[in-house]
Amino acid sequence: MSIDFGDDFFFGTATSSFQIEGRSPIIPQGESIWDSFCALPGRVSDRSNGLIACNHVERYAEDVALMKKLNMGVYRFSVAWPKVIPNGRGVVSPAGLDFYDRLVDELLAADIVPFPTLYHWDLPQALDDDGGWMMRETAEAFADYTTAVVERLGDRISTWMTFNEPYVSAALGYVTGEHAPGHRSLDAGLAVAHHLLVAHGMGMERIRAAAPNAEAGIVLNFTPAKPATKAPADVAAADIRNAWENEWYIGPIMGKGYPERAVEALGWNRVIDVRDGDMELIAAPIDVLGVNYYSRSVVSAVGQTQPLSHQRTEMGWEVHPESMRALLVWIHENYAPPKIVITENGAAMPDTQVAGGRINDTDRIDYLRRHLHAVHAAKEAGVPMAGYLAWSLMDNFEWAHGYTKKFGLVEIEERTLNRKPKASALWFAEVARTGVVPDA
């Protein structure tokens, strides 16, 4: 059966600054923790970096024109802190703000709603030199950066997002070390998680002050964990995983605090410095919750296992749209954010099939179609779904995987960096134009 999202639902794509922008000689910028991380041996699989990326910084007008051609109504991008305040705190760079000013104007002229995220992982290296997110002062620096950006662009932005996936920043950046800045300490991760939440709260205050009419919120990622068996040890392992990965951020933000069972299990109170007023600051009402969903996990007490029978993407992530529907219903029933936007959903695929010079990514189309059906089912069940943003507009720098994992609806040709829509881009353009998602 085909489904119809109706008129009050938007479609678009998402990207982030470090993954697509690259640098331009006319925009002096500071180093970010990802520049430093890329320079370390063995951290990024193809030894690449973000110096050129998709060269969006120079080709943004072409990218906006392409989005328009593809009927996209909304564009989620992130602002690079090192372009706006090269040293993290202090002097604001007019050239950096000018770039986002031009991007926003270009989008508005094309009738595309700009949907910015203030922090998508590219922390200025100068702040990391002082301890980065392990230090509470970094939250204050984020608040000042927020004011600088919102004061400049606020007259044209209807929705602000503070952070992208604080879970990933804390867990992969500070606990497992897979992401910048590459620390491996649970204590560091716990402190960072709290500082990110405090920074979110301070950022919300600054957005409210500088843009009282705009909506604001945060983007969280969710990977629902299911126990591998009914054995109590597996059930307990999945429960702790859910607390740490799926409840740690939404709980405090929606006024329910940290999940107590995990707080105990992880012994967090040893290290986290919760000050008077923090939990109230973090719980200040949001207007919209951004949900990033890619996959679920199947957890056993001896580590993660995944059923081999299910289809996986190039990331090794199981394709499981039913978990997306269940997740959205769970968020609605347990936390009731006023509005939910899917801020990321998509798949890395091999992209080896070519027809008529175009990547014929029927597997990606199938992934998008099935997940859109899941979103529609949640909407039908009463979840206040407002829109869906596919990850990603184009192939880009996929963090520790460099350019080896391709999530784009649009291919970026090697060397020329020319943009070539894949079959999925044309398919999604039709969905955006009609609001209708066809069955297979």
By beta-carbon proximity to ligand FCB, the closer residue of 147 and 396 is 396
By beta-carbon proximity to ligand FCB, the closer residue of 344 and 411 is 344
* CA–CA separation, 21 and 80 (whole Å): 9
Which of these ranges, 68-76, 163-171, 204-212, 244-252, lies near ligand FCB under the rule CB under 6 A?
163-171
Pick one of 245, 247, 344, 351: the residue that binds ligand FCB (CB under 6 A).
344
Q: Does 367 bind ligand FCB (CB under 6 A)?
A: no
Q: Kindly report the three-state secondary structure assignment for every residue of the chain.
A: CCEECCCCCEEEEECCHHHHCCCECCECCCCEHHHHHHHCCCCCCCCCCCCCCCCHHHHHHHHHHHHHHCCCCEEEEECCHHHHCCCCCCCCCHHHHHHHHHHHHHHHHCCCEEEEEEECCCCEHHHHHCCHHHCCHHHHHHHHHHHHHHHHHHHHCCEEEEEECHHHHHHHHHHCCCCCCCCCCHHHHHHHHHHHHHHHHHHHHHHHHHCCCCEEEEEEEECCEEECCCCHHHHHHHHHHHHHHHHCCHHHHCCCCCCHHHHHHHCHHHCCCCCCCHHHHHCCCCCEEEEEECCCEEEECCEECCCCCCCECCCCCECCHHHHHHHHHHHHHHCCCCCEEEEECCCCCCCCCEECCEECCHHHHHHHHHHHHHHHHHHHCCCCEEEEEEECCECCCCHHHCCCCCCCCEEECCCCCCEEECHHHHHHHHHHHHCEECCC
- Could you tell me the smallest distance in angstroms from the CB atom of residue 344 to ligand FCB? 6
Q: Does 391 bind ligand FCB (CB under 6 A)?
A: yes
By beta-carbon proximity to ligand FCB, the closer residue of 16 and 55 is 16
Pick one of 165, 234, 351, 411: the residue that binds ligand FCB (CB under 6 A).
165
Per-residue mark of binding to ligand FCB, 216-235 (x: CB under 6 A)? -----x--------------
* CA–CA separation, 78 and 252 (whole Å): 24
Q: Are strands 354-355 and 358-359 parallel, antiparallel or unpaired?
A: antiparallel
Q: Of residues 165, 245, 247, 398, which has the active-site annotation?
A: 165
Q: Does 78 bind ligand FCB (CB under 6 A)?
A: no
* CA–CA separation, 104 and 110 (whole Å): 10
21 is catalytic: no
- Could you tell me the smallest distance in angstroms from the CB atom of residue 77 to ligand FCB? 11
Q: Does 161 bind ligand FCB (CB under 6 A)?
A: no
Q: Are 379 and 5 in contact (CB under 8 A)?
A: yes
Torsion of CA 422, 428, 429, 430, to 10 degrees: 120
- Could you tell me the smallest distance in angstroms from the CB atom of residue 49 to ligand FCB? 16
- Could you tell me the smallest distance in angstroms from the CB atom of residue 2 to ligand FCB? 28
Q: Does 397 bind ligand FCB (CB under 6 A)?
A: no
Pick one of 54, 64, 168, 349: the residue that binds ligand FCB (CB under 6 A).
168
Q: Does 75 bind ligand FCB (CB under 6 A)?
A: no
By beta-carbon proximity to ligand FCB, the closer residue of 168 and 197 is 168
Pick one of 13, 55, 162, 164: the residue that binds ligand FCB (CB under 6 A).
164
By beta-carbon proximity to ligand FCB, the closer residue of 146 and 313 is 313
Pick one of 163, 399, 403, 427: the residue that binds ligand FCB (CB under 6 A).
399
By beta-carbon proximity to ligand FCB, the closer residue of 390 and 437 is 390
380 is catalytic: no
Pick one of 10, 37, 100, 407: the residue that binds ligand FCB (CB under 6 A).
407
By beta-carbon proximity to ligand FCB, the closer residue of 152 and 320 is 320
Per-residue mark of binding to ligand FCB, 5-24 (x: CB under 6 A)? -----------x--x-----
Two tokens at 218? 């945060």
Per-residue mark of binding to ligand FCB, 265-304 (x: CB under 6 A)? ---------------------------x------------
* CA–CA separation, 311 and 317 (whole Å): 8
- Could you tell me the smallest distance in angstroms from the CB atom of residue 267 to ligand FCB? 27
- Could you tell me the smallest distance in angstroms from the CB atom of residue 155 to ligand FCB? 28
Give the residue numbers annotated as catalytic, written as ranges: 165, 344
Binding residues (CB under 6 A) for ligand FCB: these are: 16, 19, 164-165, 168, 221, 292, 344, 391, 398-399, 407
